[in-house]
Amino acid sequence: MKALITGISGFVGSHLAEYLLKNNTEVYGTIRHRSRMNHIQHLMNDVNLVECELRDPFSVENLIQDVKPDLIFHLAAQSFVPTSWNSPIDTIHNNVAGQVNIFEAVRRFNLDCKIQIACSSEEYGYVDPTEVPITELNPIRPLSPYAISKVAQDYLGYQYYKSYGLHVVCTRTFNHTGPRRGENFVTSNFAKQIAEIEKGLKAPVLYVGNLQAQRDFTDVRDVVHAYWLALEKGDPGEVYNIASGSCCTIQEMLNLLLSLSTVQIEIKEDPARLRPSDVEILLGDYSKFHKKTGWKPEIPFTQTMEDLLNYWRAIV
């Protein structure tokens, strides 16, 4: 079985590669010339890397023709919400064009493969507090250009399934974290600041944005297991929530991290970290996916945050 991971050098891509290798799957992954390889350095002898610019149809055609994967996990994306405010067109173009190029190449070469699309809970956007937990039937009310790009990816998956019979499964994943999480994302950003303060590399002041937002966090190692099951057992043309089923405020997540450290830290709001419109609550209902695949999250949140903090302690 040959699996292709787009964005293999990223946070989720590197964990998925580890998971697939343990499952005796032959792993191929796309990288770009400027990709940082530190997350997959330890896998270099076990995975096959292909340089590919997903925005370029010729590059993607060559990729699909050469690799001929049985499974495609499409993870590559501009995935940081604030960046999408600064460069909305780039985010939408990158996330949408890359996926259309993959679909068109699979179609052109008549490839019999299953495709997982990494969609997002951000698609739900504005959620009234009476509308949680969020099921796949909740309204889609996107609040950022990033969310719009994910809605487009989601609906393209449905359209290519209906129009051409492509085996596409969309996973709407709620927030996920763990070792190797990019330092811009809130859990990693706070953990890195704490690790730096512990080492005396930074004054004991931790900068934060909106601490009232509520998020549903799952460990990335549970998430990659879900992606595998989505293609093994999920129905094509369907969308599945991947979530933990509980949520906390960002303040509570910060308190947990602080409780794992012994240093005294002052908390300061940094206005630059506030967003034009923030999604205030994301709390997912993953029962549709559980019924289909038996999946449920296994790793407790405290463990995830401890592993994340230790990850940063080891590298700052």
Ligand X SMILES: Nc1nc2c(ncn2[C@@H]2O[C@H](COP(=O)(O)OP(=O)(O)O[C@H]3O[C@H](CO)[C@@H](O)[C@H](O)[C@@H]3O)[C@@H](O)[C@H]2O)c(=O)[nH]1
Q: Which residues bind ligand X (CB under 6 A)?
A: 79, 81, 120-122, 174-175, 184-186, 189, 208-211, 213, 215, 250, 273, 275, 278, 282
Q: Smallest distance, Å, CB 200 to ligand X? A: 21
Gap between the Cα atoms of 136 and 118, Å rounded: 15
Asked if 306 contacts 246 with a C-beta cutoff of 8 angstroms, the reply is no
The number of CA neighbours under 13 Å toward the Cβ of 258 is 13
3 CB neighbour count, 10 Å cutoff: 28
Token reading at 240: 């599945």
Minimum CB–partner distance for residue 90 and ligand X (Å): 15
Closer residue to ligand X in complex, CB, 210/287: 210
Q: Which residues pair with 215 in a beta bridge?
A: 248
CB burial class (10 A; 0-12, 13-18, 19+) of residue 85? middle
**Identity of the residue, 52 or 253, whose beta carbon is nearer to ligand X in the bound complex:** 253
For tokens 């590919």, name the residue.
52
SS3 178: coil
Q: Coil, strand or helix: which one is 149?
A: helix
- Rank residues 235 and 269 by Cβ distance to ligand X and give the closer one: 269
Alpha helices in 117-185 (DSSP H): 145-164
Residue closer to ligand X by CB (options 143, 231) is: 143
CB of 104 to ligand X, least distance (A): 24
Minimum distance, C-beta of residue 206 to ligand X, in the bound complex (Å) = 9
Cβ nearer to ligand X, comparing 117 with 186: 186
Closer by beta carbon to ligand X, 116 or else 189 = 189
Q: Please say which residue, 31 or 213, places its beta carbon nearer to ligand X.
A: 213
**Phi/psi of residue 123, each to 5°?**
-60, -30
Closest distance to ligand X from the beta carbon of 86 (Å): 13
CB 235 within 8 A of CB 174: no
21 half-sphere exposure, CB direction, 13 A CA radius:
18
Min separation Cβ 247 and ligand X, Å: 11
β-partners of residue 51 are 31
Nearer to ligand X, 103 or 174 (CB): 174
Does residue 127 contact residue 158 with C-beta atoms inside 8 Å?
no
β partners of residue 2: 26
